[in-house]
Amino acid sequence: MSGDSETLRIMDVVLTAEIFNQNPQLDINDLTPACRDIFSITSAADVKRPVYVSDGVIKRTLSIADAHLKMSANPFVAYEDFGQRLRITALESAAQWFLKQGGKVFIEKNPTLAFYFEKLDSIDVGYKTVRAANPPYEDTKAHLDARLSKLIGEDEKLRGALDLVMISAPEEVEQRMEDLVCTPSQIAVIFKIQNALIHREYLQHHRIHEVGKLLFVGPPGTGKTSIALAMSNIMHMPVLEVRLSMITSQYLGETSKNIDRIFDLAKKLSPSILFIDEFDFVAKSRVADDHGAMKRAVNSLLKNIDRINLVKNGVILIGATNHPQLLDEAAWRRFDEVVEFSLPDEDMRKKILQKVTASLGCDIDYQMLASKTEGFSGSDLRMMIKEAVLSALMDNRRSLSPEDVRKGILMVKNRDAIRHLNWL
């Protein structure tokens, strides 16, 4: 990048405003999240042209003071004292200046700029590719909050469901599929769901409805929750996370009604992912608890699972359990896919370690370390590396040594030993 960084950031926004104003076919998803904030666009219905760029907004959003002074030497940008606004005076000339100064890195991330610059032979950039990579407005917390406020306004009963679930917009979910190491069967199931979404109308027409109910089974720490949450990003759906034990223990008298409301909320937020953790709690409750309210709650849960699916309702249902042997036939048959999450083998452990340490300075023999960590879950491996990092920092170092890693391994093994102690 040859131009001044702050000048290019300002020019990125001012050019975007000019191109967006001149092309009404561009919509909210042609703006980067930063530009939506700068132009005060909070919903698709809120897109009003012309959009403006002022000194004050640049200072608030980009933390750049006196933007007009930084652009004063640029002959293609004018400053209006009234409103303290910056605007482009000659679009083509301003665009060529921006490109020569190193603006391509911005163009490759900004659909509005890509739309304009795609027409130029001097740059290899594809508008559709850039737009596809831009975080859509529908993935934002602002969009999710607006939808939730509207739903509660229309049905006050849904407020009770909000107290029982943790709802996250795709942009809020930290887990990303590219950061995870998945088995071929796990990847195949995700691809199958993506395909079903694309052909949802076809499946509906042929009455093939029982799609998108997944049961994740495997030991703790093997990635069940991580993959369920990461699917939010690749499917562009909010995720509603529910823990059955919390619902039944805190709201016993209202449990059945609240389960109904949770499923109702998932349908009204469609397309969405409903992730039910600790699903084995259903089996425990059916066998061990003779409380009438609890039995009604469990029956309500199973009936709701019967009545929801991806094709009709646009909801992906994911149940997760560490104890599949506790689930009876009534629970098993409600899921059309059972996805295994076993402890990682040596090759997977090596890949997980490489992912976890990708941004760290390491002196590690990954193959040897993978062989030494047999029986470790993905969660154990991440905990081990975290402990190794802390060990290095205690010694005022930022690169991991074999000794740091050894301490991490010992910490994980000690935790496991303590967990299996019999205190009685």
Q: What are the pLDDT digits (tens) for 128-184? A: 999 999 999 999 998 999 899 999 888 887 887 888 899 999 999 999 999 999 999
Residue 90 lies in a domain: yes
Encoded tokens for 295: 């039995």
Residue 213 lies in a domain: yes
Query: What pLDDT, on the 0 to 100 scale, is given for residue 1?
Result: 41
Are 160 and 261 within 8 A, CB to CB?
yes
- My answer on whether 328 and 403 are in the same domain is no
Is pLDDT of 11 > 60?
yes
- My answer on whether 252 and 178 are in the same domain is yes
Give me the CATH number covering residue 387.
1.10.8.60
Residue 405 lies in a domain: yes
- My answer on whether 286 and 183 are in the same domain is yes
Is pLDDT of 7 > 50?
yes
| 116: region left, alpha or beta (phi > 0 left; psi from -120 to 50 alpha) | alpha
**End position of a domain, from candidates 73, 99, 134:** 134
What's the burial of 8, exposed, middle or buried (CB within 10 Å: 0-12/13-18/19+)?
Answer: middle
- My answer on whether 293 and 236 are in the same domain is yes
Please compute the mean of the pLDDT values over residues 210-230 and round it to a whole number.
94
- My answer on whether 125 and 155 are in the same domain is no
Residue 71 lies in a domain: yes
Residue 424 lies in a domain: no
Nearest C-alpha neighbor of 240 from the set 144, 332, 304, 143: 144
- My answer on whether 327 and 404 are in the same domain is no
Query: What pLDDT, on the 0 to 100 scale, is given for residue 387?
Result: 95
For residue 266, name the pLDDT band (cuts at 50, 70, 90): very high
Looking at residue 345, the DSSP 8-state letter turns out to be: -
Q: How far apart are CA 403 and CA 391, in angstroms?
A: 9
- My answer on whether 147 and 289 are in the same domain is yes
Query: What pLDDT, on the 0 to 100 scale, is given for residue 411?
Result: 94
Is pLDDT of 291 > 90?
no
Q: How far apart are CA 84 and CA 130, in angstroms?
A: 31
Residue 154 lies in a domain: yes
Amino acid at 419: R
**End position of a domain, from candidates 306, 340, 374:** 340
Query: What pLDDT, on the 0 to 100 scale, is given for residue 158?
Result: 82
Burial 286-324 (b: 16+ CB within 10 A, else e): beeeeeeebeebbebbbebbeebbbbbbbbbbbbbbbeb
Query: What pLDDT, on the 0 to 100 scale, is given for residue 17?
Result: 96
- My answer on whether 200 and 232 are in the same domain is yes
Looking at residue 138, the DSSP 8-state letter turns out to be: G
Q: How far apart are CA 174 and CA 170, in angstroms?
A: 9
Domain tally, the chain:
3
Encoded tokens for 343: 């402890």
- My answer on whether 121 and 162 are in the same domain is no
Is pLDDT of 249 > 60?
no
Query: How far is CA 236 from each of CA 211, 309, 317, rounded to the nearest angstrom?
Result: 18, 17, 15
Please compute the mean of the pLDDT values over residues 50-55 and round it to a whole number.
92
Are 201 and 170 within 8 A, CB to CB?
no
**End position of a domain, from candidates 134, 160, 177:** 134
Q: What value does the mean pLDDT of the chain take? A: 89
- My answer on whether 327 and 407 are in the same domain is no
CA dihedral 76, 81, 83, 84 (to 10 degrees): 60
- My answer on whether 260 and 274 are in the same domain is yes
Residue 94 lies in a domain: yes
Is pLDDT of 290 > 70?
no
- My answer on whether 126 and 144 are in the same domain is no
| pTM for this predicted structure | 0.84
Q: Report pLDDT digits (tens) over 341-378.
A: 999 999 999 999 999 999 887 878 999 999 999 999 99
Domain that holds residue 399: 346-419
Please compute the mean of the pLDDT values over residues 79-106 and round it to a whole number.
91
Are 401 and 392 within 8 A, CB to CB?
yes
